[in-house]
Amino acid sequence: MNKKQKKMLTRIIIAFVLIAVLSVLPVDGYLEFALYMIPYLVIGYDILIKAFKGIRNKQVFDENFLMAVATIGAILLKDYKEGTAVMLFYQIGELFQSYAVGKSRRNITELMDIRPDYANIENDGKLEKVDPDEVEIGSIIVVQPGEKVPLDGVIVEGTTTLNTSALTGESLPRSAKPGDEIISGCINMTGVLKIRTTKEFDESTVSKILELIEESSSRKSRSENFISKFARYYTPAVCYGALALAVLPPIVNLVILHNPAMWSQWIYRALTFLVISCPCALVISIPLSFFAGIGGASNAGVLVKGSNYLETLSETKYVVFDKTGTLTKGVFEVAGVHHNTMEQSKILEYAALTESFSSHPISRSLKTAYGKEINQNRVTDVEEISGNGVTAKVDGTPVAVGNVKLMKRIGVEAVECHQVGTVIHVAIDGAYAGHILISDVPKPTSKDAIANLKKNGIKETVMLTGDIDRVAQQVAGELGVDRVYSELLPADKVSKVEELLAKKSEKEKLAFVGDGINDAPVLSRADIGIAMGAMGSDAAIEAADVVLMDDDPMKIVKAIRIAKKCMRIVYENIYFAIGIKVICLILGAVGIANMWVAIFADVGVMVLAVLNAIRTLFVKRL
């Protein structure tokens, strides 16, 4: 609890004790009135001040005005205990709501703590703390154990483990070594790192995350906008309705039916009507549900740019994926080594040594798969033949590594490979040794993500890629994607998404998931764009409506589940609050419900709705 909440709790306890004591004291008349005014003012003075300011500023009709009129009216009718109790329970509800909002806000403020306070620059052998905004691209910064990484960059010296939980929601630390890219906002846990910065602070990952969070509250959902408009018209309407209930029946009784007017009875019913009609449960719980939903999502490593996107995400029925970097790792890896006369490990060793002087992605994948330190002194007579491959001598033995053209060129018959991927043929000492299959492999969780999306109400999954159809069809089949479009240019992807948008119904939403700079136009065109954040380009993150802070496709499932849960709770609160209030308003108008029922209809319903709303904070692990 903060200082303000503790102060309110103290006031509630004092007022409650005073009411309890006065309930058993044998007092009446003016003394009773004077004594009850003490707890009433202790608990309600701020509500009375707000109501007075609202009247002065010509913004009369709000919950403060309703509470002031209802409680003052009850006191004037000599229902001192009920009038004071209404104010007490209203403040209990307000305290509860304040605590719930604070709990939701803490999830987001914990994420806001990723903003670094300083960056360490080495100057004459000493570390100097400077503002991250002052560090230029290409500077070398030092991050010590326990410190936040202040800027995006590449590790040039040191190994460590990184705590990325504030960014990705994952509790397991990640290892990092020289040459690895590192993003701001991580916490360095073990070793001392030297990092060459690649972005200024304003363009860094942590800065963009903070910007997204700050902007999220300004984008309201349809439900929030409806509740705001509803309250604007509803509150004046019930005030005029209460006035009519207090005045018209007594006049009809007196003038037309010639019965006693019974003013006090009808005024009491009107005051009860006012307490019941207070729209707190709706006005508080609906925005709180969305706020908690965004907070819970951010804690799970899913940044939603506004409650309107949370609402759209819950209505998603079609998910369209870019393939490379989204469903697949986006890097070449050795998928298999098929030998002819030599051991697999030996073929891989010869291929890695032969390709050791090349910086081609395929060469890097061969060296990574070999996994041992490469001694380039063993390699001589290296010749790179454009469009064919590389020839060299390894330990004096002639080796050729390349495609079928290279094998024909040196007079070696290559064995055909029927698997999908890039095939690298290897000939050693003039004889065919085997081939190595290299492919862009699917992410470990991609298949499970597709299956879980279908379990969560997604009608169809679609994959778009620039790859040849044979490769695309194999990946789609392996992952269980429903439909695939291959050999597409970036502009073709936009056209395909527009075709899919035209075919679906208006209530069904289409989400596109991508990570690259060429995905930005498609992310903007879809009903909702989802960007893979850790690898994703700045353009993709800027164009997207939802940003996943790591590259795990299962986060898409989590984001949709959070959105669906949030909207389910929003509608539960709307139906529950309105339903209870309508019933109690009718009972109050006919005299069945008294002020204590009114307190339940106002404070009780609000507390239950707020309790329901904060359920959106808690996200189950998949």
Active site residue 482: no
Task: Find the catalytic residue in 62, 79, 152, 322.
Answer: 322
Q: How far apart are the first and last CA of the chain?
A: 32
Distance CA 445, CA 442 (A): 8
Task: Extract long-range pairs of 7-11: CB within 8 Å, 24+ residues apart.
Answer: 8/91, 8/94, 8/95, 8/98, 9/95, 11/42, 11/43, 11/91
The structure tokens listed for 370 are: 């070999």
Q: Give the H or E element holding residue 84.
A: helix 80-112
Distances (CA, A) of 504 to 317, 521, 559, 595: 9, 20, 22, 51
Q: Are 407 and 434 in contact (CB under 8 A)?
A: no
* DSSP assignment string, 223-282: HHHHHHHHHHHHHHHHHHHHHHHHHHHHHIIIIIS-----HHHHHHHHHHHHHHH-THHH
* DSSP assignment string, 607-620: HHHHHHHGGGG---
Question: φ, ψ for residue 454 (rounded to 5)?
Answer: -65, -35
What single-letter DSSP state applies at residue 123? Answer: E
Q: Are 204 and 184 in contact (CB under 8 A)?
A: yes
Q: Are 514 and 267 in contact (CB under 8 A)?
A: no
CA 587 to chain centre: 42
Q: Which one, of 109, 118, 179, 111, lies nearest residue 147 by Cα?
A: 118
Return the residue matching tokens 């949370």.
310
Please name the amino acid found at residue 38. I
Return the residue matching tokens 């009609």.
277
Q: Is the dihedral of CA 306, 551, 557, 503 positive or negative?
A: positive
Query: How open is the CA angle 180-182-184, to the nearest 5 degrees?
Result: 175
Burial 251-260 (b: 16+ CB within 10 A, else e): eebeeeeeee
Q: Which one, of 140, 96, 93, 89, lies nearest residue 119 by Cα?
A: 140
Burial 324-342 (b: 16+ CB within 10 A, else e): bbbbbbbebebbebbbeeb
Distance CA 188, CA 192 (A): 8
Q: Helix/strand/coil (H, E, C) string of 281-327?
A: HHHHHHHHHHHHHHHHHHHCCEEECCHHHHHHHHCEEEEEEEHHHHH
Distance CA 142, CA 563 (A): 40
Task: Extract long-range pairs of 33-42: CB within 8 Å, 24+ residues apart.
Answer: 33/75, 33/78, 33/80, 36/75, 36/80, 36/81, 36/83, 36/84, 37/75, 39/14, 39/15, 39/84, 39/88, 40/15, 40/71, 40/75, 40/80, 40/83, 40/84, 40/87, 42/11, 42/14, 42/15, 42/18
Residues marked as catalytic: 322
